[in-house]
Amino acid sequence: MEIRTFGDDTLRQRAQPVGDVDDTVRAECARMVEAMIRAGGIGLAAPQLGIAKRIIVLDVEGEFHVVINPEMVELSGEDEESVEGCLSVPGVNAPIVRKTAVHLAGTDLEGDAVEIRAEGFLARAIQHEMDHLNGVLFVDRLSTARRKSVLKEYRRLQEEET
């Protein structure tokens, strides 16, 4: 499966909740993990593969997570600015402000409840992937001028590849 990139309408849609966690959902999660690893990413949301479901996968600093129907219980800590990139906007990055801690709840591959309390880089990655489930890309969190500059660079890089 190809990772959808900037301009693809799927990336702008709000993902829908998953019903029962069955073999079809588990197979989609496996494809997501494979695509994330193949692309060298640390996280991936289902819409990035054109799957309009609320699923995220993460592999950050030795912590691996698959979360179905994730819900942000709490954002806390300080605001911190750090550079982010995205598999759906390849080749560019920009400083993004996010909270330093999160509490996430959802379901695992067995359909059991799971909670993640994270700080630092994992908290940032969770927030980034949750944005994808709501049709938000990291560039949307930039000022208008900065977004135009980053997207101009992205388009230049895409033209160079063709």
Active site residue 129: yes
Q: Note whether residue 3 is domain-resident.
A: no
pLDDT in tens, 15-29: 999 999 999 999 999
So what's the pLDDT on residue 58?
Answer: 98
**Domain interval for residue 139:** 9-161
Q: Note whether residue 64 is domain-resident.
A: yes
So what's the pLDDT on residue 1?
Answer: 73
So what's the pLDDT on residue 131?
Answer: 98
Alpha helices in the chain (DSSP H): 23-39, 120-133, 144-161
Q: Note whether residue 97 is domain-resident.
A: yes
CATH number, domain of 94, equals: 3.90.45.10
Q: Which helix (H) or strand (E) holds 83?
A: strand 63-86
The model carries a pTM of: 0.96
CB 43 within 8 A of CB 27: no
CB 118 within 8 A of CB 101: yes
- Choose, from 129, 159, 160, 161, the residue flagged as catalytic: 129
Q: How many structural domains compose the chain? A: 1
At residue 87, the 3 state secondary structure works out as coil
Q: Note whether residue 79 is domain-resident.
A: yes
So what's the pLDDT on residue 161?
Answer: 83
At residue 49, the 3 state secondary structure works out as helix
Q: Note whether residue 2 is domain-resident.
A: no
Residues in the chain predicted with pLDDT less than 70, given as ranges, are none
Q: Note whether residue 157 is domain-resident.
A: yes
Tell me the one-letter amino acid at 145. Answer: A
